[in-house]
Amino acid sequence: MFALGMPLCALFLDLTINENGYHPLTLVFLTIAGIACFTAIIFRPGRSVEELLRKRAAVLLSVIIVVPLIFTLTQHLKDPAICLPVLILAALGFLQITDLGAIRIPLLLVMVIGFCAVYALTFVSPQRAKDPKIDVFLFHQAAAEALKNGQNPYATRIPNMYSEGNSAEFQNPHRFGPGAPAYGPGVVDNNGWLTYGYPYPPFSLLMMMPGYLLGGDCRFACLVATGLTAVLMALARPGRWGPFMALLLLVNPKAFDVMDASWTEPLLLFTFSLVMFCACRWRRGLPWALGFLLATKQYTVILLPALFLLVEGPNPFRKVVKMLAKASLVVAAVTLPFIAWNPHEFIRDVVQFQFVQPFRDDSLSYMVWIRNHNGGHWPSVWTPFLMLIPAIVIAIYRCERSPSGFAAAVTIICYTFFAFNKQAFCNYYYFVIGAALWSVAAMWPQSNASDSIREKT
């Protein structure tokens, strides 16, 4: 049940983020995804149901993969340079469900390298190069250029690309929702420039730098991170199901949009994948990988309660504290130099900026539905934090102490936090999708009766 419920959660999140903004139908998909996630974690079916699911697992997972693949191809019908290669790569991915033996890993590498090559070409095409039409891209490019020149990226400013003087595309209600402001109060000055600098932790910028320095475009880093995530997911456990989950990640219909906009979630999913791979294959590296994860994005602090699922044996609290102590050294090493550079600017950009952001009525969030049925009044800003409490309790008590259980806990915690947040878009759920797929990829092929998929290795 678990190994089918979590991919189903990923599938309906795919359908949720396929729409550009809030819509009642997307809320239905979001709800079904949540039900699939909670059911997979809480519900334990009988042996007869397990046996039936085990026999039909390959067929059911194949159907799950076909749906996002169709959406991906539909989005790129007018671009055969993407459509045909994606079909070929998907065919290579479907072969992973068979007994490939020694050629499994070479085929996997061909699939991932081909995926990266196809999308890399679109970044340098005249139609898309340097023009993703989103401020996140400008943040990364400006910060990378500043750091390259020895300047503080947190003191770097960019123009407000969503001002009334810009293209009507930026004022489209379908993009921001009718009357939804792009920024909060005090973010834009009288000259049309943002008063805040780079809004992400420095490790995200450091990971973006190779793409900017080598290719002039930070999005290359997101692309490489996605490819490495797929490889880590496929190799974390022996057998065919890891590569199959990697294929589900690569054919995500919004994968290209997330990378094209240079959102940081591909980087976050990569550092999360480092944690998962170390938990499965190299336990000594786990604390250091965890440090990279915590240094990537601000909201990773909500994952701390789930760390108890990563430790083995007695005295879990002591082991978590020891692991966090080592992880903190990594966070300090990559973050403190930027804090010391200019503490005021750093705190404004990385911390304060997150709190001044407005409620967005185009968010893929229950907050919009509540506002629409509450006389136009937004719920409390603390709502997502309150909703985290039951999600964390369920995660700790129902997820097993294993890498797979940890990934499932991350899925349910992040899903809950985003589904009740003032801003929640496709990039946030892209990370949840990756965590859900990891919960299956990290299972042992020969596992206990609670696992729905077994195979000979």
**172: CB partners within 8 A, 6+ apart:** none
- Residue 191: both structure tokens together: 């000259």
447: in domain? no
Round to whole Å and give the CA distance between 436 and 5. 9
Q: How many residues does the chain have?
A: 457
111: in domain? yes
Beta carbons of 363 and 422 less than 8 angstroms apart: yes
Q: In whole numbers, what is the pLDDT of the chain averaged over residues?
A: 83
Round to whole Å and give the CA distance between 8 and 10. 5
Round to whole Å and give the CA distance between 78 and 149. 40
Q: What pLDDT shows up at residue 307? A: 94
Q: What is the CA radius of gyration of the chain?
A: 21
446: in domain? no
Round to whole Å and give the CA distance between 36 and 24. 19
- Residue 193: both structure tokens together: 């420039």
Whole-angstrom distance between the N-terminal and C-terminal Cα of the chain?
A: 21
Split into its structural domains, the chain has a count of 1
448: in domain? no
**453: CB partners within 8 A, 6+ apart:** 3, 54, 57, 241, 440, 443, 445
Q: What pLDDT shows up at residue 346? A: 95
331: in domain? yes
* pLDDT bucket at 78, cuts 50 / 70 / 90: low
Domain range holding 314? 2-441
449: in domain? no
Angle subtended at Cα 223 by Cα 68 and Cα 307, rounded to the nearest 5 degrees: 80
Look up the pTM and report it: 0.89
Backbone angles phi, psi at 282, to 5 degrees: -145, 80
Residue reference for tokens 């944690």: 275
- Residue 118: both structure tokens together: 């196809």
* pLDDT bucket at 53, cuts 50 / 70 / 90: low
* pLDDT bucket at 446, cuts 50 / 70 / 90: very low
Backbone angles phi, psi at 193, to 5 degrees: -110, 145
Buried residues in 216-236 as b, exposed as e (16+ CB within 10 A) = ebbbbbbbbbbbbbbbbbbbb
Please count the CA atoms within 13 angstroms of the CA of 278 that sit on its side-chain side.
20
Round to whole Å and give the CA distance between 434 and 246. 9
Round to whole Å and give the CA distance between 2 and 45. 10
Classify 148 as helix, strand or coil.
helix
454: in domain? no
Q: What pLDDT shows up at residue 248? A: 84
Residue 177 has pLDDT above 60, yes or no: no
User: pLDDT tens digits for 90-137?
Assistant: 777 667 666 666 777 787 788 788 888 877 776 655 555 566 778 899
User: pLDDT tens digits for 294-334?
Assistant: 999 999 999 999 999 998 888 888 999 999 999 999 999 99
Q: What pLDDT shows up at residue 320? A: 93
Q: Which of 392, 401, 391, 396 is nearest to 279 (CA)?
A: 401
Round to whole Å and give the CA distance between 248 and 430. 12
- Which stretch of 5-9, 21-25, 399-403 has the lowest confidence by average pLDDT? 21-25
- Distance set, CA 196 to CA 56, 95, 100, 188, 404 (Å): 53, 48, 52, 8, 39
Round to whole Å and give the CA distance between 207 and 327. 18
Q: What is the mean pLDDT of residues 195-204?
A: 93
Round to whole Å and give the CA distance between 453 and 444. 9
450: in domain? no
